[in-house]
Structure 1
Amino acid sequence: MQITPMRGPGTTILVVDDDALITLNTADILKELGHTAIEAFSAHEALTLMQKRSDIDVLITDYAMPGMTGLELAEAARALHPGIPVLLTTGYSDVPEGQSFDYPWLEKPYREEDLTVRLAELLAPMAE
């Protein structure tokens, strides 16, 4: 069974990862699912985009990035766009010691099906 998370003509999703291959691959998957994907390769670039654009519906971000973690980015993003759904991705099997968060997360490497299911869960409240 394939789950296709969509809302209207598609959701605008900001994908942030300092690994360009992961960013571009994730963006391609999202585009195939009918969404608009915007790529950023650092938290700073992501925040700049979020300050300029009001159409970003969802943030998917890597947890471990230089300069600012995905968790810090998620908090800053919520300050700019309160309530924006956030999906953290991580190569860690556990959250680093001393860190906790209430955001859903997806362990890397992930498959298209894993991303699709997590995104559907994330978008479900938006569809209600």
Structure 2
Amino acid sequence: MSTPPTVLVVEDDFLIRTCLIEFLEDSDVSVLEAENCATARGFLHSDRALDLLIMDISLPDGSGAELGQESRQIRPDLPIIYTTGHGMNLDGASPIDRVMTKPYQLDAILNVVHELVPTS
């Protein structure tokens, strides 16, 4: 039996965050939740196991893109799915990063989670 992946969801929109978390948990994914950069930093700097980061680009207390760069310094092998309603270019990004444009299909996010965090 494999261990479910642990995903940190960083999304300031309550409805989007709640729907995504519920869908992921129903799909056997363990989820940690943050509504802003400050809370996400707490998880990133902790000893908690993280397999993937799903992060909105526009957050109330900072840039998701900058937080992604910061997280890469802390956890260099952590895959990131950036979500945005405004488009984003990932020039020079890691091959383990993806961009999903809002509105996205929940099953499409789950497919990328499974692509970036293969289960054994």
Q: Same fold (TM over 0.5)?
A: yes
What aligned pairs does 1:30-49 form with structure 2 within 5 A after superposition?
30-49=24-43
Q: CA RMSD in A?
A: 2.0
CA distance in 1, matches of 2:7, 2:56: 14
Structure 1 runs, 4 residues or longer, greater than 6 Å off: none
**Is it true that 1:54 corresponds to 2:48 in the alignment?**
yes
SS at match of 2:117: helix
Does the CA-based 8 Å contact 2:53-2:80 persist in structure 1?
Answer: yes
CA distance in 1, matches of 2:44, 2:34: 10
CA distance in 1, matches of 2:64, 2:36: 9
Higher percent of residues as strand? 2
TM-score, normalised to structure 2, is 0.85
Structure 1 residues without counterparts, runs of 5 or longer: 1-6
% identity of equivalent residues: 26
Shift of 1:41: 0.2
Aligned length: 117
**Is it true that 1:95 corresponds to 2:85 in the alignment?**
no
Q: Which residue of 2 aligns with 1:14?
A: 8
Q: Which residue of 2 aligns with 1:108?
A: 102
CA distance in 2, matches of 1:46, 1:101: 23
TM-score, normalised to structure 1, is 0.80
CA distance in 1, matches of 2:11, 2:92: 19
Structure 2 residues without counterparts, runs of 5 or longer: none
Q: Match of 2:22, as an amino acid?
A: D
Does the CA-based 8 Å contact 1:24-1:39 persist in structure 2?
Answer: no
Shift of 1:90: 0.6
CA distance in 2, matches of 1:86, 1:65: 15
